[in-house]
Structures are given as C-alpha cells and as structure tokens.
Amino acid sequence: MLNVGKIENGIVLDHIHAGRGMSIYHHMELSKMECPVAIIKNARSNAMGKKDIVKIETDADSINLDVIAFIDPDITVNIIKDGELIEKKRVPLPKEIKNVIKCNNPRCITTIEQGIQHMFYLADSRRKIYRCEYCDEKYTEQESDW
C-alpha cells in the first residue's frame, strides 16, 4: 500500500469510506491547522475494496473525535505516540454535535440569525438520526455535504 510516511505523534484515521476523506478534512477544519495532514484517497482495502485514510500529525488530545464518528462511525482511529501505535478504537456516535452541520429548516432561528451555535442532538442512534436543538428539524445528509 501507498505509504505517506510514518507519523511520530498524532492520529491515523483508517477505514474511511472511499470519498469521505475530503469530508473529514472539511468538517474537522483541517485546513485551519498548522500541522502536517495527509489524505490518501482510494487506498486498497481487503475488507472494503477502496478506502480513504487521513493522517494528522498533532497532539491526539487536541482532536475532536466526535466529528469523526458523526461523519463515518466505521472509521478506525489509531493513536500514535512516539512512533508507536498506543491505541486503536472506534468512536461511538456523539450525543450532541456542535457547529458541524447546519439546519435545513429555512424558518429555524439558526438560519435566520447570525452567530448562533448550530447544535444537534442524537435522536435515534440505531438509524443515526440527528435533530436540531432549536426546531427539532431532522438532519438529512445533503449531497453537497459529502
């Protein structure tokens, strides 16, 4: 497999559904980070056929894993410290997501007014349904979000 160099300290997000690597990049706001970030698209995977991988070289504690689980709960998070893999885990769906997605209801206060936090709560974990904290509108994935 393509190797974009080992990282000494940071996280490797593995088993991302092919095509969602850029979505991770976008929602985690990695463009704003100063640290090295590598996105590998369409890596070969025995289990998945194709997958994306994201490597972020930074303090693992500073990364918001809730966002990762929301975008793709099947992602494996590998935490690397001093060049060693110290933890490998899946992240459960967050109970709440803040400022990651936006409400689609045109009458929602978050659509009308500026500067309000976009908050969603997990309404149904089995079906992965999130609702707006303010108007209860169900969040549905938009093509443009991915």
The closest of 68, 72, 55 to 10, measured between CA atoms, is: 55
Under rule CB under 5 A, residue 101 binds Zn ion? no
The closest of 131, 137, 143, 62 to 105, measured between CA atoms, is: 137
Under rule CB under 5 A, residue 146 binds Zn ion? no
Q: Closer CB to Zn ion, residue 74 or residue 133?
A: 133
Q: Closer CB to Zn ion, residue 86 or residue 112?
A: 112
- Choices 7-15, 20-28, 75-83, 136-144; region in contact with Zn ion by CB under 5 A: 136-144
Under rule CB under 5 A, residue 132 binds Zn ion? yes
d(CA 125, CA 138): 13
Under rule CB under 5 A, residue 108 binds Zn ion? yes
CA distances from 108 to 27, 46, 103 (A): 22, 44, 7
Residues that bind Zn ion (CB under 5 A): 103, 105, 108, 132, 134-135, 137
